[in-house]
Structure 1
Amino acid sequence: MATAYERFNLHASPEKFYIEACDDGSNDVLVIDRVSTEMTLTGIKDIPPSGVTRPICGIMGTIRLVAGMYLIVITRKRKVGNLFGHTVWKAVEFDMISYKKTILHLTDSQMQDNKTFLSMINSVLNTDGFYFCTDYDLTHTQQRLANTSPDFQEMSLLERADQRFVWNGYLLRDFFAQPELQKFAFPVVHGFIAMKPCCINGKIFEWILISRRSCFRAGVRYYVRGIDSEGHAANFVETEQIVQYNNSRAAFVQTRGSMPFFWSQRPNLKYKPKPQISGTTNHLDGFQRHFDSQVLIYGKQVILNLVNQKGSELPLEQAFAKLVNTMENGMIKYIAFDFHKECSKMRWHRLQILVDAVAEMQDEFGYFMLNSDGRVMSEQSGTFRSNCMDCLDRTNVIQSLLARRSLQSQLQRMGVLHVGQKIEEQADFEKIYKNAWADNANACAKQYAGTGALKTDFTRTGKRTQWGLVMDGWNSMIRYYKNNFSDGFRQDSIDLFLGNYTVDESVEGLTPLRVQKDWKFLTLPIVMLVAFSMCIICLLLAGDTWTETLAYVLFWGTASAVTAAVILFNGKEFVDAPKLVQKEKMD
C-alpha cells in the first residue's frame, strides 16, 4: 500500500506555500501557488530561505470562501494507540491560512460574509472526533480489507478509502485530481476511536472500538432526518469492535441510521416537534436503494427499530414495517422493540428480552476472525441495523449489549476466557468496556444532537441511577436550546465543509447569509419580555387596592401569555434555520 507522509514543515512565502515532507529519506515538496492556486511537486532545494517556517501534522485540504482559497492544516495531533503496528492519531487543532495576503479588496458586506464562512468551517473543525492514520486504512472494516485485490492494496490511501467515511473528501478534491500529490494527503474519519490494552486471566489483549460517521446526508438532529433520493440515511454510523490477541484478531460490525424513508421533524419551539412523513414522495425507491447497498456491503440485515409504539413515533414505526413487508426481501428481517415501554420504571433488565430474541440470528451472522497466520477463520454474514428516533441513546445501549455477546464468543475462542467464564464477571475489563461504549455514545450524540448522550449511566454502570436521570434532564434542556436556536448555523457549517454548498466569490449582491428575518422575529419576543416584566413589577409594587393590582397583573399577564402563544404558533419562524442548505435536506 502506498502510504502517506506523516511529518511536514510548512514554509510560507508571499507568493507560494511550500509543504516539505520530513519523513526519513524524503525529498518531496508540495508547492501551492497562492495566486494561481496551482499545485506542483518539487524538491527541497527549491524552498526559499526567506519563508516563514512552521511544523504541521498534515493537510486537511483546501476550500474557497469569499476572500478566495484557504489552506486547512492540522497543527496538533494526539496519539490514540497502535492498530496492528500502525499509529492512529486524533486531530486536535487546525489552522486556516488564506492564499490572499490581504482582504482589502472585499466590500464590508463581503468581509462580514467571509468572516461568517470562516466561523462555520472552524465550527466543524472544533467538533471533537477527527481521526487519521498515514499508513493504514481506517475507513474500511477488517473484513473488507481482508477481501481486497492486489491492485486495491497498491492504491494510495485516498484512492482506496470508503468515500462514505472520508470527511475531508471535498477539501481534498485537488489531490484526487493529481495522483502524484496523494502522498501529501490522507483521509480523515469523523466519529470515535478507543484503543485499550486489557488483561483477563493474565492474558493481555487489545480491545478497539471504531465508529465511522458517514459524510453522506450528514447534518444535525432535526434538520437531517430519513434518507435522500440516493438512499443515504441521516446519522449513519458504522461501528466496529475489534479484539487482537497473539497476532490473531476478531471483529464485529454493527450499523445505525435514521429510519430510511422520507420523513422530517423540523424544530418549531416545541419540546418534541411532531414528525412528518412525506406524502408526495415514492418512499419505496429510496428505501430499496438504501437496503440494496446495505446488503451488498454487509450481507443480511436485521433491523432493530427501538422507537415508541404509541404517540407521535408510532406512524414512523408502522411506515418502516410496511416498507419492509412490501419489499419482500428474504435478506432483511424487521424487529420492533418499544425500548421505553419495556424499560419503564427502571426495568432495564428487560433489555435481555431483545438480546435473547436475536441471539440465534447473531450466532448465524458470526464475526470476522483471522488466526495468527493471517488465515481467515470466519466471516460476518450479516449485521444488525439499529435505530431509534435519533439513533443515539437507545441505539447505543442495544449495540453495546450485542457487541458484548459477540466479544464473549471471540475471547473464548481465542483462549482468553476460560470455559464457563463470563465477561460480566471480569470487573476490570467491564469498567473499560462500559466506559468506552459510553464515550462512544457521547461522541456520536455531540456530533449529531449537540450534547452528550442520554442513558449513559446504564452503559457505564449496568444500571439506571437517579443522578443519571438528572443528567439526562440537563442534557435534554441543552439539546432543546441548541436544536432550536443554534442548529441552523451548525447545519450550514457541515454543508459548507462537505461541499454541499459552495461559495461563489464573484457574487456581489444579496447572499443567503444576509436574508433578513421577518419583523415578528424581533418584535414579538420584546413585547413578551416587556409584558412579563411589567407583570412581575405589578406583583412586587402593589397598587392602592388589591383590585387595582389584580387588574394590572391580569392585563400584563394576559399580554405576555397571548404573545407567547403567538410565538409558539409561529414557532418555525423563530428557530435558527439553515440558510445555505439545499432543498432536499429541508424537505
Structure 2
Amino acid sequence: MSSLDVHNDLSLYVTPEKFYLEPRNSDELLIIDRPSEQINLQKNSGQIPAASSRRDFCGLLGTIHLLGGPYLVIVLQRDLVGYIAGHTVWRLVKAELVPYSRSTLHLNADRERDNNLYVSMIEQMLTTPFHYFCYDYDITHSIQRLHDISPDFWQQSLCERADQRFVWNKHLLQPFKNEGIKRFGLPILHGFISINQCVINGHSLSWTIISRRSVYRAGTRLFRRGIDRDGNVANFVESEQIVEFQGDRASFVQIRGSIPLFWHQNPDLRYKPPPTLLDMDPQEQQAACLKHIEEVATLYGKQVLVNLIDQKGAEGNMEKAFRNAMNTLNYQSVRYEPFDFHAECRKMRWDRLSILIDRLALDQDEMGYFLLLRDGSLSSLQDGVFRTNCIDCLDRTNVVQSMLAHRNLETVLKKLNILQPNQGLEHQYSFEMLFKNVWADNADYISIQYSGTGALKTDFTRTGKRSKAGLMRDGMNSLTRYYKNNLTDGFRQDSIDLFLGNGKIVSPLTVEKGWRYMTFPSVLLMAVAMFVASAVFPSEYSTESLLYLLFWGSMVFATGHYILKYGVEFVDKPRLVQF
C-alpha cells in the first residue's frame, strides 16, 4: 500500500469518551474525542482500552453535524465492481451513522423528531443507488486527465487530487483534510460504473462505463433545472467509456447537463408543467451561460451542443432561447446541433436517429479519443466533447450518448485490431447485448438519482427497437415520476442539500399547511366514494339516483379542478434553508 492510499480495512473502537480508528495494515491510530471533536493521529502503542466495543468497517466517509450533534459516517459493506488499470473499484452497499453524543436527552421531543428526520435524510442519500470508491486510484478523473498531469499531483492524497466536481462526501470530509490524517478520508463518487471482461473475436478485453454526477447544482428533477450564476447546470454528468486491452488503454468522454439558461419547471400537480425561462436581464442569462461554456471549453476543449428537445410548444421556446444564446455568444469552439427527437422519431421511427449520428460523424472523427499504447506512447488525444441535453438530460440524452459511444467503440476496436476493418459490433451478438444492457442500466441509475424512477425508452437502448411493452413500462415510470416529483421530492432535495452541505439545519422542520391542504383532498375522497356508491349500488336507476350521480360527479370534477388550481400548495417542497 502506498503512503498516499486510503486505509481500506479498519476497526472502530468506541468508549464513552473517544473513538479509536485502527487501520489493519498500519501502525497509525486515529483518536477522536467525542465531547470536543478533537482529532489526533498517534502511533498505535496499545492505547485502546480493553473495555471498548469494537466493530470492523471498510471506509470513513467523514462527519456530519445534525441537531443531535456530530455523527461519524462509516462504510460497513461493499461489493466488488471490477478493476481499472489493475485497481479495485468498489460499490457502497451499507453505511452507518455513529453518533458522537451518547444520548439525545439534550433534545426536546420536537428536536429529537427533527433529528431523526435528518438522520433519515442522510440514510436516504447513502442508499440511493449507487456510490463508488477506490482506495488507491482516482475514479473521479478520466484517464486522459490522469495522463496529462504534473508530477506534483501524484504527491497529493486521494482526497486532494480528486476532481471536486464529483466528490459527493467532500462536505463530510472537511475535518479529515489536515496533514497526516488524509489517508483516513475515503472520497466517493455518485453515478454509475460497470466494468466488464469481454471476448470479441477471441480477444479478451475490459470494457468500462463510468458516469460521474456533479455535486454542483445537484438535486431532483423539477427542483433543479437550468443554470446558476456560477455557470453550474443541473444534472451534469460526465460519462467515460474505457477499453483496456493487453496494456493499451482507450477512453471516450461525453457530458450531459441541463440547458445552460435560467429556467424553471416547478411542480404544481400538473402532469407536465411547462419549462419557463426566468424573467430577468438578458445580460445575466448571457453571463451565466458564457461561464458554463468557458468552463466546459477549459476542461474538454471544443464542444458540440446536441439539443434534443422539441422545437415546438413550451420546449420550442427553450430551444429558441438556447439557439439565440449560442448565436449571441458566437463562441469559436462551439457548434450548436438541434435535433427534435420526438418529431423525427414519431410513430416509433427510431431508425431516424441515424440522421443525427451521421450529422455528428465528422465532429466525432475530428475530436477523436484518448489512446495510450502498451509501450507508454501516446497514440491520440480526445480534443472536444459532445454535450448532449434534452429537458431532463435523461431518456433521450442516454439514447444518443449510447449511439455515439457505440460508434467510438467500433473505431477503437478496429484501431486495436480486435475488429477487422469490414466488421461491426452488431455481428458480435453477445457483446452487443452486453453493450445495450449496460447503457440501459446507466440510463436507469442516472434517472433514479435525478427523477426517482428508471429511465424511459430503455427498450430501444436494450434491443435497438421500440416495443409496445416498452411503451407500457414507460407509462408506469411516468406515473411514478409524477407521484414522486410532486409528493416526495421535497424530502429528496433536502437530503441531497444536507449531504452536500448546501442546506442550513433548522428546527422545527414542519411547515404549516393552509386549510386547502386537508379540506380539498378529504372532499375529493368523499366525492369519489359517493360517486362510486351511486353508480354501483342502485339495483335500478331512477331520476333521483341519476341526480345523485350527477351531483357527486360534479363534486369530483370541481374539487379536482381546485386542487390543480392550487396545486403548488399540495406539492412536497424542500424545507432546508439554502446557504
TM-score (norm 2): 0.97
AA aligned opposite 1:567: I
The aligned counterpart of 2:167 is 166
Contact kept? 1:68, 1:100, Cα under 8 Å: yes
The aligned counterpart of 2:193 is 193
| Separation in structure 2 between the aligned mates of residue 100 and residue 473 of structure 1, nearest angstrom | 47
The aligned counterpart of 1:578 is 574
The aligned counterpart of 2:356 is 354
The aligned counterpart of 1:423 is 425
What is the correspondence of 1:433-512 to structure 2 with a 5 Å cutoff?
433-503=435-505, 511=507
The aligned counterpart of 1:210 is 210
- Secondary structure of the 2:503 match is coil
| Separation in structure 2 between the aligned mates of residue 418 and residue 524 of structure 1, nearest angstrom | 67
AA aligned opposite 2:126: L
- Secondary structure of the 1:532 match is helix
Deviations 1:83-111 (A, max 9, x none): 11100000110111110111011101101
| Separation in structure 2 between the aligned mates of residue 528 and residue 581 of structure 1, nearest angstrom | 33
- Do structure 1's residue 256 and structure 2's residue 252 form an aligned pair? no
- Do structure 1's residue 410 and structure 2's residue 388 form an aligned pair? no
Shift of 1:307: 0.4
Shift of 1:344: 1.0
Identity of aligned residues (%): 49
| Separation in structure 2 between the aligned mates of residue 238 and residue 527 of structure 1, nearest angstrom | 48
| Separation in structure 2 between the aligned mates of residue 545 and residue 303 of structure 1, nearest angstrom | 62
Shift of 1:275: 1.1
| Separation in structure 1 between the aligned mates of residue 539 and residue 358 of structure 2, nearest angstrom | 69
Please, which of 337, 340, 343 is the counterpart of residue 341 of structure 1? 343
Deviations 1:286-344 (A, max 9, x none): 10110110000000000000001111110111111000000011111101001111111
AA aligned opposite 2:170: G
Please, which of 532, 542, 546 is the counterpart of residue 528 of structure 2? 532
| Separation in structure 2 between the aligned mates of residue 146 and residue 543 of structure 1, nearest angstrom | 80
Contact kept? 2:88, 2:134, Cα under 8 Å: yes
- Secondary structure of the 1:179 match is coil
The aligned counterpart of 1:507 is none
Contact kept? 2:110, 2:508, Cα under 8 Å: no
The aligned counterpart of 1:179 is 179
The aligned counterpart of 1:508 is none
After alignment, is 105-114 or 531-540 more displaced?
531-540
The aligned counterpart of 2:387 is 385
AA aligned opposite 1:8: L
Shift of 1:444: 0.1
Shift of 1:462: 0.8
AA aligned opposite 2:464: G
Shift of 1:512: 5.5
| Separation in structure 2 between the aligned mates of residue 374 and residue 435 of structure 1, nearest angstrom | 33
AA aligned opposite 1:4: V
AA aligned opposite 1:523: T
Shift of 1:550: 1.8
Deviations 1:247-270 (A, max 9, x none): 011000000000011000011111
AA aligned opposite 2:452: G
The aligned counterpart of 1:152 is 153
Please, which of 514, 518, 521 is the counterpart of residue 522 of structure 1? 518
Shift of 1:113: 0.6
Change in Cα spacing, 1:126 to 1:356, as seen in structure 2 (3 Å) is same
RMSD: 1.2
Contact kept? 2:193, 2:211, Cα under 8 Å: yes
Deviations 1:476-512 (A, max 9, x none): 11111101110011001100110001326xxxxxx36
Deviations 1:529-564 (A, max 9, x none): 112212222223439971111222222221221111
| Separation in structure 2 between the aligned mates of residue 471 and residue 443 of structure 1, nearest angstrom | 16
Shift of 1:582: 2.7
Deviations 1:204-241 (A, max 9, x none): 01000000000100000000000111010100000000
Shift of 1:581: 5.0
What is the correspondence of 1:127-142 to structure 2 with a 5 Å cutoff?
127-142=128-143
The aligned counterpart of 2:397 is 395
Shift of 1:43: 2.5
AA aligned opposite 2:413: L
| Separation in structure 1 between the aligned mates of residue 532 and residue 280 of structure 2, nearest angstrom | 49
Please, which of 266, 272, 288 is the counterpart of residue 290 of structure 2? 288
AA aligned opposite 1:535: F
| Separation in structure 2 between the aligned mates of residue 39 and residue 27 of structure 1, nearest angstrom | 17
Shift of 1:185: 1.1
The aligned counterpart of 1:224 is 224
- Secondary structure of the 1:323 match is helix
The aligned counterpart of 1:99 is 100
Contact kept? 2:505, 2:576, Cα under 8 Å: no
The aligned counterpart of 2:50 is 49
| Separation in structure 1 between the aligned mates of residue 291 and residue 304 of structure 2, nearest angstrom | 17
Change in Cα spacing, 1:171 to 1:340, as seen in structure 2 (3 Å) is same
Shift of 1:31: 1.0
Deviations 1:453-493 (A, max 9, x none): 11111111111111111111111111111011100110011
The aligned counterpart of 2:557 is 561
| Separation in structure 1 between the aligned mates of residue 504 and residue 162 of structure 2, nearest angstrom | 24
Structure 2 unaligned regions, length at least 5: none
Contact kept? 2:276, 2:314, Cα under 8 Å: no
- Secondary structure of the 1:136 match is coil
- Secondary structure of the 1:358 match is helix
Contact kept? 2:504, 2:577, Cα under 8 Å: no
How many residue pairs align between the two structures?
574
| Separation in structure 2 between the aligned mates of residue 46 and residue 324 of structure 1, nearest angstrom | 63
Contact kept? 1:492, 1:581, Cα under 8 Å: no
After alignment, is 414-423 or 66-75 more displaced?
414-423
| Separation in structure 1 between the aligned mates of residue 301 and residue 540 of structure 2, nearest angstrom | 79
Change in Cα spacing, 1:429 to 1:73, as seen in structure 2 (3 Å) is same
Please, which of 4, 7, 31 is the counterpart of residue 5 of structure 1? 7
| Separation in structure 1 between the aligned mates of residue 133 and residue 536 of structure 2, nearest angstrom | 60
Structure 1 unaligned regions, length at least 5: 505-510
The aligned counterpart of 1:114 is 115
Contact kept? 1:491, 1:581, Cα under 8 Å: no
Shift of 1:156: 0.5
| Separation in structure 1 between the aligned mates of residue 412 and residue 468 of structure 2, nearest angstrom | 35
| Separation in structure 2 between the aligned mates of residue 318 and residue 242 of structure 1, nearest angstrom | 35
The aligned counterpart of 1:552 is 548
Contact kept? 2:14, 2:20, Cα under 8 Å: yes
| Separation in structure 1 between the aligned mates of residue 63 and residue 578 of structure 2, nearest angstrom | 22
Change in Cα spacing, 1:513 to 1:104, as seen in structure 2 (3 Å) is same
What is the correspondence of 1:76-87 to structure 2 with a 5 Å cutoff?
76-87=77-88
The aligned counterpart of 2:310 is 308
- Secondary structure of the 2:61 match is strand
